[in-house]
Amino acid sequence: MLYHLWKEDGLSQQQLCDATFRDKPSITRLVDNLEKLKLVNRVPSKEDRRINMIYLTKEAQELQEQTMGIANQTLNEALEGVTHGQVEIAKEVLQNVYDNLKS
């Protein structure tokens, strides 16, 4: 969830459900836990008070560089010995699987 908020801060809980393929109760629990950790804030939408917008705190924004560095290091280790062409084929296959599941 933090990754999606790092890409675009201020998403609604429904947008986070859609982006992470999780149901509303799961996202609500996750937001509750991230709020307790002081990583996100819930803010009622100005257009519709029934909708909560989720914003990153300064602490969560500071985690981004460290977390993304670790993720890149892990990815590089995981892809050792894998050619660029193989990565592209894997992406294409996974995109097809994703598209099939969306239908």
- Listed by start position, the domains of the chain span 2-102
Average pLDDT over residues 13-39: 94
Q: Is the pLDDT of residue 103 over 80?
A: no
Average pLDDT over residues 10-16: 95
Whether the predicted model's global pTM rises above the 0.85 cut: no
**Cβ atoms 67, 2 nearer than 8 A:** yes
pLDDT of residue 58: 94
pLDDT of residue 21: 87
Average pLDDT over residues 1-6: 94
For β-strands 52-56 and 11-12, DSSP reports them as: antiparallel
Per-chain mean pLDDT for the chain = 93
- State the fold for domain 2-102: Arc Repressor Mutant, subunit A (1.10.10)
